[in-house]
């Protein structure tokens, strides 16, 4: 048991560190191709910080442990909304201003992806034909970001000539190397989950709902805290919403290509509705394009309730 725990946490650290450096390099690549800060937060940083969930999900599905995927997706998105947004709001001091031309459309995609995933999960499994619908929805979302997030203005120097930026080759190499680290870390993380679940005699999806989902949302927390301290609130919020959309659509959609994804009954009966409530609550909370520190505290209270109910499943 002790060895399994060490393998789990060691591989999770490798996974998170690799994802962190991957995301930083990918962000610079996004700036090079001309994406706006919000599009970078939603599209590149959001995807980068979701890589731990994606790769671990694919490896879990390929190894016949697909229920890890359903638990991790629900747990990670619920943690993003309640825990990460709550912490970021408190750290911001005066709350978070969501004033952006893209944020409302992005929120619509987030809640739409939550309901689409919920409808597909309700019968207890996600098959490949349903995964195609999830991936198609994300394709529409990605097209919107790429089209709307492009910089319309070319930066000019003092002589009013276009500023030429060299191709970030170093960042491209970092992306390649860290991708290998993400794969290795995810592989051993999944193996650790299976071993721990077997020892505790609990479903692997329960471990993924709590320990794995909390661990794999640490990149979103790290990116969000850094962005808030730098005054880049659009990137912080865009990262969370983009990660939620990616988790709900791409992860189950991609994993379904390797086999059907099982959704245990206890997830359908309680944690799936809780995930839907979290999405709707966050959507309603942000209609005034602001999140106060008191609302952030309320989000943390909801997260405490979510974790307490998850832990109750162990005993």
Where are the chain's structural domains? Answer: 2-312
At residue 173, does pLDDT exceed 90?
no
Confidence of residue 162 (pLDDT cuts 50, 70, 90): very low
Q: Which of 222, 227, 249 is nearest to 238 (CA)?
A: 227
List the single range of 22-31, 138-147, 158-167 with lowest mean pLDDT.
158-167
At residue 2, does pLDDT exceed 90?
no
Q: What is the pLDDT of residue 208?
A: 80
Q: Which of 258, 248, 202, 197 is nearest to 66 (CA)?
A: 258
Instruction: Please tell me whether the overall predicted TM-score, pTM, comes out greater than 0.85 for this model.
Output: no
Q: Which of 247, 223, 219, 221 is nearest to 235 (CA)?
A: 223
Most confidently modeled range among 37-41, 209-213, 273-277 = 273-277
pLDDT tens-digit readout, 13-27: 887 787 778 767 777
Q: What is the number of other CB atoms lying within 10 angstroms of the CB of residue 82?
A: 25
pLDDT tens-digit readout, 93-124: 777 877 655 567 778 899 999 999 999 999 99
Can you give the C-alpha Rg of the chain in angstroms?
Answer: 19
Q: What is the pLDDT of residue 243?
A: 84
- Residues 296-304 have a mean pLDDT of 92
At residue 170, does pLDDT exceed 50?
yes
Write down how long the chain is: 315
d(CA 71, CA 75): 6
Q: What is the pLDDT of residue 30?
A: 73
Q: What is the pLDDT of residue 154?
A: 45
Extended strands (E) in the chain:
96-97, 125-126, 261-262, 290-291
At residue 130, does pLDDT exceed 90?
yes
- Residues 142-161 have a mean pLDDT of 58
CB 69 within 8 A of CB 194: no
Q: Which of 134, 124, 131 is nearest to 268 (CA)?
A: 124
At residue 152, does pLDDT exceed 50?
no
Confidence of residue 290 (pLDDT cuts 50, 70, 90): confident
CB 95 within 8 A of CB 228: no
Does 280 or 22 have the greater pLDDT score? Answer: 280
Q: What is the pLDDT of residue 120?
A: 95
CB 185 within 8 A of CB 18: yes
pLDDT cut 90: percent of the chain above it: 24
**Residues whose CB falls within 8 Å of the CB of residue 287, separated by 6 or more in sequence, listed in order:** none
pLDDT tens-digit readout, 192-217: 777 877 777 777 878 888 777 777 77
CATH number for region 2-312? 1.20.1420.30
**Residues whose CB falls within 8 Å of the CB of residue 166, separated by 6 or more in sequence, listed in order:** none
d(CA 65, CA 73): 14
């Amino acid at each position: 048991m002790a060895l399994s725990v060490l393998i789990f946490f060691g591989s999770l650290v490798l996974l998170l560190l690799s994802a962190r450096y991957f995301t930083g390099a990918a962000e610079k690549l996004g700036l090079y191709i001309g994406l706006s800060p919000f599009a970078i937060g939603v599209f590149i940083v959001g995807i980068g910080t979701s890589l731990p969930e994606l790769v671990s999900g694919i490896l879990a599905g390929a190894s016949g442990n697909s229920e890890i995927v359903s638990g991790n997706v629900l747990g990670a998105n619920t943690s993003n909304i309640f825990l990460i947004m709550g912490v970021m709001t408190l750290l911001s001091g005066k709350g978070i201003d969501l004033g952006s031309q893209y944020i409302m459309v992005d929120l619509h995609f987030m809640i739409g992806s939550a309901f689409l995933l919920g409808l597909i999960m309700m019968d207890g499994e996600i098959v490949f034909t349903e995964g195609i619908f999830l991936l198609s929805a994300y394709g529409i979302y990605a097209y919107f970001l790429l089209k709307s997030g492009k910089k319309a203005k070319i930066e000019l120097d003092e002589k009013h000539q276009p500023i030429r930026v060299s191709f970030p080759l170093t960042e491209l190499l970092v992306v390649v190397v860290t991708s290998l680290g993400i794969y290795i870390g995810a592989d051993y993380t999944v193996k650790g989950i299976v071993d721990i679940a077997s020892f505790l005699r609990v479903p692997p999806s329960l471990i993924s709902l709590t320990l794995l989902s909390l661990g794999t949302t640490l990149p979103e927390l790290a990116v969000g805290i850094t962005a808030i301290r730098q005054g880049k609130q659009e990137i912080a919020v865009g990262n969370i919403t983009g990660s939620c959309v990616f988790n709900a659509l791409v992860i189950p959609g991609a994993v379904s290509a390797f086999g059907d994804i099982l959704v245990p009954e206890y997830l359908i009966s309680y944690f799936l509705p809780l995930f839907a409530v979290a999405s709707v609550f966050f959507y309603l909370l942000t209609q005034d394009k602001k999140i106060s520190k008191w609302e952030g505290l309320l989000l943390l209270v909801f997260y405490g309730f979510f974790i307490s109910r998850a832990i109750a499943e162990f005993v």
